[in-house]
Amino acid sequence: MLVAHYYTDPEIQALAEETGGCVADSLEMARFGNDHPASTLLVAGVRFMGETAKTLTPEKTVLMPTLEATCSLDLGCPADQFTAFCDAHPDHTVVVYANTSAAVKARADWVVTSSIALEIVEHLDSEGHKILWGPDRHLGSYIAKQTGAEMLMWQGACVVHDEFKSKALLELKAQHPDAAVLVHPESPQAVVEIADAVGSTSQLIKASQEMDAQKFIVATDKGIFYKMAQLSPEKTFIEAPTGGNGATCRSCAHCPWMAMNGLSAIESALKAEDKGAHEVFVSEELAQKAMVPLNRMLDFAA
């Protein structure tokens, strides 16, 4: 069964839809893999999504179009260094973003995705927990600001969302004063502050359907435009500007690792006699530890 993220290319999302699979955000992907009876899951997304599926359902075969598809948040949070950070603050409850390795999750008390992070931190804060958060500093700052929770922060960032520029976004907004601005909270704070709606991929898609505006400027990976346009074909969707060194790029917000999930990579995963190049494995010891905070999130979200 094919499970694809909203950031994969349009033909991959269409294939998942046509074959009875699912196109979803990180939380829904985890849920779908957990609940679906298929014995093999083909996860089109990035490595942590495949590892999450394997951790939650070790009895299933979990394949990925490529095992090379990683994530800058995962890369920027090595398990040994993160463990040392946690060990230095033993009185803190460790909350990690789903965009991490199974080894980092194994050291956590809670795993969260962007669609449930606010509620879980709010809940922990109300119970008086001191929170150690990792790895995305922008999402962490957004949650800390929204909830008022004190959070010790790992300093990771998403290479895609970190590139959105507030000045260029304000200029674009001035050219389209009737447009509403939708922003994923992995973006820098100055960009989040301009937003009319902030949320996970599924929450931004919902906002694009439910808000009154007919035009939207969207600050997240451009893969999301497939679903937004499919659900609201009468509406206009504009990419938020990105760029380095003052330059402005209007169509470069696309995760290089999500882009590795091409049709030929999928074909190769399904045909390969040696599934070793595509099959995700998580050691039993790690899976047993990582499963605890993952299931805590799924139970909380239920």
Q: Kindly state whether residue 163 participates in binding ligand SF4, applying the rule CB under 6 A.
A: no
- Residue 274 and residue 157: Cα distance in Å, rounded? 35
DSSP 239-287: EPPB-STT--BSS----TTGGG--HHHHHHHHH-SSGGGTB----HHHH
Query: Is the Cβ of residue 55 or residue 99 nearer to ligand 13P in the bound state?
Result: 99
Segment near ligand SF4 (CB under 6 A), from 68-76, 123-131, 240-248, 286-294?
A: 68-76
Out of 8, 72, 93, 200, the residue judged to bind ligand SF4 by CB under 6 A: 72
Per-residue x/- mask for ligand SF4, residues 23 to 62, rule CB under 6 A? -----------------------x----------------
Q: Kindly state whether residue 253 participates in binding ligand SF4, applying the rule CB under 6 A.
A: no
Closest CA to 110 of 269, 277, 302, 290: 290
Query: Is the Cβ of residue 55 or residue 72 nearer to ligand SF4 in the bound state?
Result: 72
Total of residues contacting ligand SF4 (CB under 6 A): 13
Out of 2, 255, 291, 297, the residue judged to bind ligand SF4 by CB under 6 A: 255
Query: Residue 72's binding partner, choosing from ligand 13P, ligand SF4, none, with beta-carbon cut-off 5 to 8 A by kind?
Result: ligand SF4
Least distance in angstroms from the C-beta of 187 to ligand SF4: 10
CB 181 within 8 A of CB 204: no
- Residue 261 and residue 8: Cα distance in Å, rounded? 7
Query: Residue 113's binding partner, choosing from ligand 13P, ligand SF4, none, with beta-carbon cut-off 5 to 8 A by kind?
Result: ligand 13P
Query: Residue 257's binding partner, choosing from ligand SF4, ligand 13P, none, with beta-carbon cut-off 5 to 8 A by kind?
Result: ligand SF4
Give residues in contact with ligand 13P (CB under 6 A): 25-26, 99, 113-115, 158, 186, 200-201
Least distance in angstroms from the C-beta of 191 to ligand SF4: 14
For residue 279, the tally of other CB atoms under 10 A from its CB is 17
Binding site for ligand SF4 (CB under 6 A): 46, 71-73, 99, 158-160, 186, 221, 255, 257-258
